[in-house]
Structure 1
Amino acid sequence: MSDVRFESALAAREAPKDLAVDIREITTRGMIDLRGLASDSKFMAAAKEVLGLDLPTAPRSSAAWGEIQALWLSTDQWLILCPRAKTAELLGNLRQAFEGIHSFAVDVSDMRTIIRLEGDDARFVLLKGSSLDLLSSDYEAGAVRRLRFAEIAALLHIVSQKPDVIDLYVFRSYANYAWDWLLANGRSAAAIRPFGRQAPPAV
C-alpha cells in the first residue's frame, strides 16, 4: 500500500514577477484545531506542558514558542501551528495530556491553504478585498482575525512588520480563487495608495 502524500492545492501555480508584493504558498506547516475551556486550569496547564506556551486568551491574539504557534480563534478554540512533519507527534502528545479533560484536538493540516504576502504594499493589496482597517494599530505583529475576504471566509495573521509579512489562510477548495484574486490585485500596475493624490495610469 502506498504512503499518504501531501499535495498542495497550488502545486502548479507560480507568482509572476510584476507584483507589488511577494506572494507564495506555505506548504511546510501543520495545523491542529484545539478546543477547550480557557477557564479550566487543568486544560490550560496541560496545553502549556505540551506546547511550551500559554494559550493566548486575548481576542485576536497569538503566541509563539520555537517552532510552535497558537492563534486565538474564539473563547474556546485555537489553531496550533507546527512543522508539518511533527504534526502527528504533537497531536498524540496533546491527546495524551488531555486525557480525562474536556477538550478536542484534531489534525486539520489539509483543510486550509496558507498564502504569504510580503512587502510594504501587502496591506494595501489586502485592503482591496476586505472592509477591515488594516492600517490601524489593531493590526500589529501577532494579530489574528477571521474575516470575509474577497467574498470568501478567511483567516489573517500578521506575522511581522516593516516590511509586512502576512499569512492568509483560506479553505483548500478556494485556494486557486484566492491565488488568482491576489495576482490580479497585487500587480504593480494595480497598486494604489488609500490616501493622497493617485498617479495617473500609464497609457
Structure 2
Amino acid sequence: MSELAYQSPLAGVAAPQGLSISLREIPDRGMIDLRGLGSDTAFMAAAKDVLGFALPTAPRSSAAWGDVRVLWLSVDQWLVLSTRSKAQELLARLREALRGIHSLAVDVSDMRAVIRLEGEGCREILMKGTSLDLISGEYAPGTCRRMRFAEIAALLHVVEETVFDVYVFRSYAHYAWEFLCATAREPAKVKLFGEQQAPV
C-alpha cells in the first residue's frame, strides 16, 4: 500500500527576480486548532502543562517558548504552531491532558499556506491588499489578527519588525502568492511619506 505524501501548497514555486523584499513559503509549519474556554481554569492549566507556557488571553496577541508559538484567534480559540514533525506528538499530548475537559484540539497543518515576507517595506506592500493601518503602533512584533487581504480571508502574524507571516487557505495559496509577487515588484515600491521619485 502506498503511503500518503505531503506536498506544500506552493511546492516548486519560487519568488521572481526584482522584488523589493524577500518572499518565500514556510512549508513545514505544523498547526493545531485549539479551542476551549479561557475562563476554565482546568483547560488553561492543562494547556500550559503541555505547552510550557500560558495561552495568550489578550486579543491579537501571541506567546512562544522554544519552537512552539501560540496565536490568539478569539476568546475561545488559539492556533498552536510548531514544526510539522512535532505537531502530531503535541496534539496527542494536548488531547491526553484535556481528556474530560470541554475542549477541541485538531491538526489543521494542511489547511493553510504560510507565506513569509521579510525586509523593509513589507508593511507598505501588505497595505496594498488590506485596509489595516500597519504603520500604526498597534502592529508591533507578536501581534496577530485575521484580516481581509486581496479580497480573501487571511491571518497576519507580525513575527519581527520587518518579518511577517501571512496565512491563507490552501486553495488561495497561488492567488495570494501571485498578488504579493506583483505588489512587491521593485517598480511598484511605494514610500508612504516624503518626496517620491517618479518611475522612469
Q: Structure 1 length normalisation: TM-score? A: 0.97
Look up the match of 1:3.
3
Q: Percent identity?
A: 61
CA distance in 1: counterparts of 2:6 and 2:90, whole angstroms: 18
Look up the match of 2:195.
197
Please list, as runs of the form range in 1=range in 2, the aligned pairs for 1:72-87 lying within 5 A after superposition.
Answer: 72-87=72-87
Q: Map Cα deviations across residues 9-41 of structure 1 (whole Å, 9 max, x no partner).
A: 111211012001000000111000000000000
- The amino acid of 1:188's aligned partner reads E
Look up the match of 1:103.
103
Look up the match of 1:57.
57
Look up the match of 1:147.
147
Please list, as runs of the form range in 1=range in 2, the aligned pairs for 1:33-182 lying within 5 A after superposition.
Answer: 33-161=33-161, 164-182=162-180
Tell me by how many angstroms 1:193 deviates.
Answer: 1.2
CA distance in 2: counterparts of 1:150 and 1:34, whole angstroms: 27
Q: CA RMSD in A?
A: 0.7
CA distance in 1: counterparts of 2:73 and 2:8, whole angstroms: 24
Q: Map Cα deviations across residues 80-139 of structure 1 (whole Å, 9 max, x no partner).
A: 001100111110100000000000000000000000000011111001001101001100
Please list, as runs of the form range in 1=range in 2, the aligned pairs for 1:13-24 lying within 5 A after superposition.
Answer: 13-24=13-24
CA distance in 2: counterparts of 1:5 and 1:51, whole angstroms: 28
Runs of 4+ off more than 6 Å: none
When the two structures are aligned, how many residues end up with a matched partner? 200
Q: Structure 2 length normalisation: TM-score? A: 0.98
CA distance in 1: counterparts of 2:5 and 2:35, whole angstroms: 27
Q: Map Cα deviations across residues 49-108 of structure 1 (whole Å, 9 max, x no partner).
A: 001110000000000000100000000000000110011111010000000000000000
CA distance in 2: counterparts of 1:110 and 1:43, whole angstroms: 26
CA distance in 2: counterparts of 1:91 and 1:141, whole angstroms: 26
